[in-house]
């Protein structure tokens, strides 16, 4: 079995888990604290994509970028190991007819051992990465939830539904009821974490002049 570089790096990069991944925990239960008395009159309902809100706060983006940087060296190691496996495999394929059976068997075993090493290390780092993502999300989610609760009380909402959940009961909601952006902005103000710098644009090759060689 060949574990390609793409497979190895995807194992590490799948942390995107922050963007409403099924592995991320749900928002803290509303019943965790005594509910305030509901105001008289019709219910005022809002919706929020809570997991997305947590991920898109300035603090969430900063923490995730820091975590990605932490795992960059390991990604480079996996890339080097994957390249080594590819090179050894190509050499065996092109030189196989010139090698003795003993030498071919020895090289094949070396390749197999390196493949197993690549798969094992990629899986280990995937598990470590996911665990840190989970811990990071849980810590930040509890703070964002406090901001959500305060925002809902200040604006008279009697019920807030999380539309990021896979089994959400919400089938339709007008954009005016979506408080995701408002909660993100409120938390950014509360946390004091500045917005991350914009990503540098990807350089593009200059367009060729028609007829140019």
pLDDT tens digit string along 105-139? 999 999 999 999 999 999 999 999 999 999 999 99
- Split at pLDDT 50, 70, 90, the class of 171 is confident
pLDDT tens digit string along 71-108? 999 999 999 999 999 999 999 999 878 889 999 999 99
Question: Does the pLDDT of residue 167 top 60, yes or no?
Answer: yes
Considering the chain, what is the average pLDDT of its residues?
81
Contact 6, 121 (CB under 8 A): no
C-alpha distance from residue 151 to each of 21, 77, 187, 202, 209 (Å): 25, 45, 10, 38, 56
207: left (phi > 0), else alpha (psi -120 to 50), else beta?
beta
Helix axes 58-95, 180-191, angle to 10 degrees: 100
- Split at pLDDT 50, 70, 90, the class of 17 is very low
């Amino acid at each position: 079995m060949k574990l390609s570089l793409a497979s190895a790096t995807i194992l590490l990069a799948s942390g995107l888990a922050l963007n409403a991944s099924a592995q991320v925990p749900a928002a803290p239960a509303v019943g965790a604290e005594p509910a305030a008395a509901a105001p008289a009159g019709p219910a005022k309902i809002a919706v929020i994509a809570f997991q997305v809100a947590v991920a898109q706060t300035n603090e969430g983006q900063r923490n995730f970028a820091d975590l990605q940087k932490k795992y960059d060296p390991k990604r480079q190691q996996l890339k080097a190991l994957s390249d080594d496996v590819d090179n050894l495999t190509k050499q065996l394929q092109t030189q196989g007819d010139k090698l003795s059976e003993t030498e071919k068997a020895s090289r094949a075993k070396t390749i197999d051992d390196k493949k197993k090493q690549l798969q094992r290390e990629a899986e280990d780092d995937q598990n470590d990465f996911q665990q840190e993502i989970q811990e990071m999300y849980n810590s930040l989610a509890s703070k964002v939830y406090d901001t959500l609760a305060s925002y809902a009380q200040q604006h008279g909402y009697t019920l807030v539904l999380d539309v990021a959940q896979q089994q959400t009961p919400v089938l339709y909601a007008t954009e005016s009821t979506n408080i995701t952006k408002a909660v993100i902005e409120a938390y950014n103000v509360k946390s004091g974490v500045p917005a991350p710098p914009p990503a540098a644009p990807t350089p593009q090759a200059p367009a060729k002049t028609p007829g140019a060689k």
